[in-house]
A and B are shown apart, each in its own frame.
Chain A
């Protein structure tokens, strides 16, 4: 249950790692700076220079869950995580244009497989992608080091995030198809959008303003 009932305070859920690193400069532009250094602090809830806004730092896959339940009114999550989450119970009003990468299908070569075995962290996205092409793959859910799966003979294909493509190349894999271009989105809890409308709308408008100048670079 949400502990903040005053209609003004907002909690923003952000995932550790690249999204947090690239979100901090964006937040700084709208005057939100964590009072402790998130890289050093072990605290999971960080107060910021704006008393009405706090950050919670959690795992990327947990951001939509927190926001959907209203444990945080808003969050920053990669499009990959949102596509996999498949709930439709969140608002995604703004592309923040940060943490850009691609979700791709890769393998050792382009040779077709009748019923490919696909290793991935994204079983829902993978199933939907292949279904749209009339194929039904065998999906193997893994939690990391996807590139190893084809080399070890565990899978014919992988579906994974790619930034520069260097890890794929170094492991002798080639990109076969791009499923989606990925960047981080601002997500908002549906109830918060209504009940804390002014505060949420202000946050969206400010972030939209902070994103725009960069898009022109």
Chain B
């Protein structure tokens, strides 16, 4: 139908002035800051062979990925829905470094389904990954970097939520759950659906001690005191769980010292990205936002499918969401309207000099009358005493 030809697909957006200008300014500041932390920029491709994008990443990412056929090879291509596996492939196969490697990236990704009703299907993903170090120090570095970037983008106050996949994995092992039931328990824990967790644990005939620990998990959230409570309530859960709690205690200690202004929240039942995470997981929240603004965690095994398993930790966010919640910056500064002088060499030299200094100069076009209004200019170039002068409008 002719009248809807100009509509964009659902969840796909374009950015117009002045937001597009603000976005670019924000993008530059954020990338400069990432560089200042020693993270090198990589630019992975928009499409790749589907196997490369999806291997080891679980079914969710498969369903989120747009697919097309390459007419030259007949092979299936995917439009990236997440840049993290691409950057992991670059680390594993292109760089071949043994030293810790710090990489960052920014690019549009495409999702078949929006994460929330009415949300975007084309986020502008920005992220940073640290490969080659296994330990709480690299997790803490990534969390501090994420907080620095969010603060730079004006997110204040900031609340960090931290959890650890080892607690759920250890408890599921302790309970002897098969993969189907582990998945069911994971979904119930994501909703903290205590009534149904009890129902299922009884139906699966789990011992009372394990049932008690699973139920306790839904209540193990809050400030730093949660970790002490967890050590008591999960005492019989095994070494994997205790090890995870110790990791969390050390990270919480590091963060408290390095990020005194940030509220730290611990949630042992939060399992975002459980399919590929192997350690600490975290997300950043702001009181005015119903959803997390950035998230990440440790995913040590992702490189294995590319033939080179390296410890890895990282975060990502949607820069467009940060843009949306920002107050518009002050007016763009002065803009000078120059007359449509085709032959005046002195005028051209003056305009070129102004532009070299970064001042906006718009040359009026012949036959237009209200040039200054149309262009939003604040100043005008006028001829005075034989030379050209900038005067306020």
A91 touches B192 (CB 8 A): yes
Closest to A97 in B: B195
B288 touches A1 (CB 8 A): yes
Q: Which residues of chain A (1-36) have a CB below 8 Å from chain B?
A: 1-2, 5-7
Give chain B's interface residues, CB within 8 Å of chain A: 116-117, 159, 161, 187, 190-196, 218, 221-223, 263, 265, 267, 285-292, 325
Closest chain B CB from A205 CB (angstroms): 10
Bound CA–CA A68/B116 (angstroms): 8
A158 within 8 A of B: no
Closest chain A CB from B44 CB (angstroms): 28
A2 touches B265 (CB 8 A): no
Closest to A3 in B: B288
Query: Within the complex, which residue of B187, B191, B195 is in contact with A95, where a contact is CB–CB below 8 Å?
Result: B195
29 residue pairs from A and B, CB less than 8 Å apart: A1-B288, A1-B325, A5-B287, A5-B288, A7-B287, A68-B290, A69-B117, A70-B290, A71-B290, A88-B190, A89-B116, A90-B191, A91-B192, A92-B193, A92-B196, A93-B193, A93-B218, A94-B194, A94-B195, A189-B290, A190-B290, A191-B286, A191-B289, A194-B161, A194-B221, A195-B159, A195-B286, A196-B287, A201-B222
Per-position binary interface string of chain A over residues 61-91, scored 1 when its CB falls under 8 Å from any chain B CB and 0 otherwise = 0000100111100000000000000011111
B290 touches A197 (CB 8 A): no
A93 touches B194 (CB 8 A): yes
- Which secondary structure dominates where chain A touches chain B? mixed
A193 within 8 A of B: yes
Query: Within the complex, which residue of B193, B218, B267 is in contact with A194, where a contact is CB–CB below 8 Å?
Result: B267
What B residues does A87 contact at CB under 8 A?
116-117
What A residues does B194 contact at CB under 8 A?
93-94
What A residues does B292 contact at CB under 8 A?
190-191
Interface residue total, chain A, C-beta cutoff 8 A:
31
A91 touches B191 (CB 8 A): yes
B289 touches A92 (CB 8 A): no
Closest to A196 in B: B287
4 closest A-B pairs by CB: A70-B290, A95-B195, A91-B192, A92-B193
B289 touches A70 (CB 8 A): yes
What A residues does B288 contact at CB under 8 A?
1-2, 5
A65 touches B117 (CB 8 A): yes
Bound CA–CA A199/B190 (angstroms): 21
What A residues does B221 contact at CB under 8 A?
193-194, 197
Closest chain B CB from A182 CB (angstroms): 12
Query: Within the complex, which residue of A5, A65, A71, A88 is in contact with B187, where a contact is CB–CB below 8 Å?
Result: A88
CB within 8 Å for A191 and B193 given contacts A197-B221, A197-B265: no
Closest to A90 in B: B191
CB within 8 Å for A194 and B116 given contacts A68-B290, A91-B192, A94-B194: no
Bound CA–CA A68/B263 (angstroms): 22
B192 touches A68 (CB 8 A): no
What B residues does A88 contact at CB under 8 A?
187, 190-191
What A residues does B325 contact at CB under 8 A?
1
Bound CA–CA A190/B267 (angstroms): 11
Closest to B266 in A: A194
B117, B187, B193, most chain A CB atoms within 10 A: B193
Closest chain A CB from B330 CB (angstroms): 22
Closest chain B CB from A6 CB (angstroms): 8
Bound CA–CA A44/B289 (angstroms): 22
Bound CA–CA A117/B166 (angstroms): 45
